């Protein structure tokens, strides 16, 4: 929805409302509304335009059957703007961009989820070195494929237009997969950031293979390969409560560089 200034014909702002996916990520869940994007031009701020846009978005979502709305969507719940806003995943509103908590509190929303942005500078950082990692490099092979494997409809909605690769660590002795992950190209951010960047997601280690350092070995191998392809920045999004994943990325020299916030309201 657009807000137009009648006097000048200029666009004063816009709001984009949509819906989250169902649990199987096979279709939309019309009971769960999202405000995917919201913007008001600086020349038109402090005129209640943003509040009016939010109310119009709520009216639309309610008319389609939504009983709640999450502004910002949340981790992997925003169906739009992947590769355009928020880095790897448009998981919420950037805390450094505007006073979002105050604005949405005024609109009747309560804080919902927070998503941490983790990044690693591949040019300035150095890989950790230990005996376990050296042993893994001798006994594991890295396999890379550009074919999506068993991805959901929701994945194709969000990432199907972007370059992606799947990385797997295989045991040389028997070919068993001990760790896997996916990267998403973020070249659309080059004009703004000035560097090539890639997002890492879905790091997975089978239950029987955990606590052997395979996830760290995979992360470091991915970073090593990306650096060889002139990628300078690698990013991941993690929930603050997911301490094991935070510890994993910290061990691979990733730092928290920002936060994305979401806000919830019942309709």
Do both 20 and 146 map to the same domain? no
Query: 135 and 48 share a domain?
Result: no
Cβ atoms of residues 200 and 233 within 8 Å: no
Between CA 146 and CA 30 the distance in angstroms is 32
Q: Which two tokens stand for residue 151?
A: 């991805």
- Whether residues 56 and 137 share a domain: the answer is no
| Shared-domain flag, residues 194 and 90 | no
Whether the CB-CB separation of 245 and 116 falls below 8 Å is answered with no
Residue 73: the pLDDT is: 87
Residue ranges making up the domain that contains 6 = 2-115+261-266
For residue 120, give Cα distances in angstroms to 47, 77, 135, 181, 240: 40, 24, 24, 16, 18
For 211-225, the pLDDT digits (tens) are 889 999 999 999 999
Whether residue 47 sits in one domain with residue 124: no
Residue 38 sits in the same domain as residue 127: no
- Report how far residue 171's alpha carbon sits from residue 142's, in angstroms, rounded to the nearest whole number: 9
Tell me the helices (H) and strands (E) count for the chain, helix number first.
7, 12
Q: Do 198 and 100 fall into the same domain?
A: no
Work out the number of other CB atoms within 10 angstroms of the CB of residue 73: 31
> What are the tens digits of pLDDT across the range 180-189?
999 999 988 8
Same domain, 107 and 137: no
Q: pLDDT tens, 43-102?
A: 998 889 999 999 999 999 999 999 999 999 888 889 898 877 878 888 899 888 788 999
Q: Are residues 159 and 234 in the same domain?
A: yes
List the CATH number of the domain containing 15.
Answer: 3.40.630.30
Residue 3: exposure state from Cβ atoms within 10 A (0-12, 13-18, ≥19): buried
As for how many domains the chain has, the answer is 2
Does pTM surpass 0.75? yes
Q: 164 and 92: one domain? A: no
> Do 129 and 253 lie in a common domain?
yes
Q: How far is CA 181 from CA 9, 202, 206, 221, in A?
A: 48, 5, 12, 11
Same domain (yes/no): 86, 165? no
99-122: b (≥16 Cβ within 10 Å) or e: ebeebbeebebeebbbbbbbbbeb
pLDDT of the residue at 147: 73
Q: What is the pLDDT of residue 23?
A: 93
């Amino acid at each position: 929805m657009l807000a137009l200034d009648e006097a000048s014909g200029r666009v004063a702002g816009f709001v984009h409302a949509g819906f989250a996916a169902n649990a199987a990520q096979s279709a939309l869940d019309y009971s769960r509304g999202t405000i995917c994007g919201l913007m008001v031009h600086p020349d038109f701020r402090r005129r209640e335009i943003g509040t009016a846009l939010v109310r119009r978005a709520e009216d639309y979502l309610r008319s389609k059957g939504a009983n709640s709305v999450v502004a910002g969507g949340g981790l992997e719940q925003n169906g739009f703007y992947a590769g355009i806003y928020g880095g790897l995943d448009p998981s919420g509103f950037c805390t450094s961009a505007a006073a979002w908590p105050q604005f949405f509190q005024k609109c009747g929303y309560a804080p919902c989820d927070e998503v941490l942005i983790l990044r690693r500078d591949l040019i300035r950082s150095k890989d950790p070195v230990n005996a376990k990692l050296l042993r893994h490099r001798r006994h594991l092979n890295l396999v890379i494929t550009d074919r999506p494997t068993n991805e959901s409809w929701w994945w194709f909605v969000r990432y199907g237009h972007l370059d992606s690769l799947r990385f797997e660590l295989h045991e040389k002795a028997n070919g068993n997969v001990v760790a896997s992950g996916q990267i998403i190209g973020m070249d659309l951010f080059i004009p703004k950031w000035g560097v090539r960047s890639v997002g890492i997601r879905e790091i997975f280690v089978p239950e029987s293979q955990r606590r052997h350092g395979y996830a760290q070995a995979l992360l470091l191998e991915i970073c090593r390969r990306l650096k060889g392809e002139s990628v300078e920045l690698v990013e991941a999004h993690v929930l603050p409560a997911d301490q094991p994943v935070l510890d994993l990325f910290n061990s691979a020299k990733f730092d928290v560089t920002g936060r994305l916030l979401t806000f919830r309201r019942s309709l």
